[in-house]
Structure 1
Amino acid sequence: MTIETVEYPRTPMSERKPGTNWERIGWQYMRVSGVLLVILVFVHLYSNLIAGDGVSQIGFAFVVENKFSVPFWLIWDGLLLVLALIHGTNGMRTLVNDYVYKPGPRKALTVTLWIACAVEIILGLIVLIAFAVEPCIAGPGSASICV
């Protein structure tokens, strides 16, 4: 019994198309962001659910006083938001490329995915920035919730 080695065909450098290889960049992004997301998520979960008083500490006051008043946690949560949304959108783009065969619907779905991702990132960052600037919620009349 012999073991054969399968050689995959490679395109010589002289025959490759010039320009940016977006598929390769997307593949590399998924690997790097996946590792970073594991670290970001576990530290986020530890700091919110285990450290201090555990789950019982989580409330509006905790988030405003301990999380969003500290620039480190604002950047941490913003990075978590941006990396996770782009990572998920890139994964969905890969599924669309695998299962949608017609170029028109594939392009429409891909553009829709990236637009939705951009809108969610913008809205999420607006919330983080709004809490950093003014952590009060104006209620009806003169009532407001501040910490």
Structure 2
Amino acid sequence: MTTTPSAQVIPSPRDPYARRKTTRGNYELYSWVFMRASGVLLIVLIFGHLFVNLMVGEGVHRIDFAFVGGKWTSPFWQVWDLLMLWLAMFHGTNGVRTIINDYASRDLTRGILKTLLYLAFVITVALGTLVIFTFEPCPANADPALLASICFE
């Protein structure tokens, strides 16, 4: 079969990636495995979080400043919530990174979007970690009705 100048040639699906040499090794494979493992662990962490916060005791009606303050006095719940925050952020950032790689066709656009994504990741993880570990359940001059029972022991 001969081709004429007016005939369209369908490019190979891998052509956009031909210009980029694979120097990162198995990064995408490890990223894929991480998404599966972190997803399973996140399911356990999130359902444990929901069960304790919504099903045990009075349920959603007891969630207030005092509840969170009392919960975060325990290193167990600090680590639990920290793991949930970090894993959710790594998992989500990795997923959005993959979407950016798939749909942003220009290198400049891809770079800007990834920079904004990583900046949002760093800010959220840093602030969330600070809140979890520097949270003061018994602030001075607070309304006693809002404080956790541990503040009066």
Category of TM-score, reference length = shorter chain: 0.7 to 0.9
Aligned partner (choices 135, 138, 141) of residue 136 of structure 1:
138
Structure 1 Cα separation of the partners of residues 56 and 142 of structure 2: 29
Specify the alignment match of 1:88 in structure 2. 92
1:111 Cα deviation from its structure 2 partner: 2.0
AA in 2 matched with 1:144 = A
RMSD (Å), alpha carbons = 1.8
SS at match of 2:89: helix
Q: Deviations over 1:24-70 (max 9, x none)?
A: 121111011000000000000000000111111111111111x1011
Specify the alignment match of 2:47 in structure 1. 42
Change (3 A) 1:89 1:17: closer
Whether the 8 Å contact between 2:66 and 2:137 is mirrored in structure 1 is: no
AA in 2 matched with 1:96 = I
Structure 1 Cα separation of the partners of residues 103 and 127 of structure 2: 30
AA in 2 matched with 1:74 = Q
Structure 1 Cα separation of the partners of residues 27 and 62 of structure 2: 44
Specify the alignment match of 2:112 in structure 1. 108
Specify the alignment match of 1:5 in structure 2. none
Number of positions where the alignment pairs a residue of Structure 1 with one of Structure 2: 125
The 5 Å alignment of 1:7-86 reads: 20-65=25-70, 67-86=71-90
- Structure 2 residue runs of 5 or longer lacking an equivalent are 1-20, 149-153
Change (3 A) 1:20 1:137: farther
Higher RCO by CA contacts (8 Å cutoff, separation 6 or greater): 2
Structure 2 Cα separation of the partners of residues 19 and 120 of structure 1: 27
Query: What's the TM-score once normalised by structure 1's chain length?
Result: 0.78
1:137 Cα deviation from its structure 2 partner: 3.7
Query: Is 2:117 the counterpart of 1:119?
Result: no
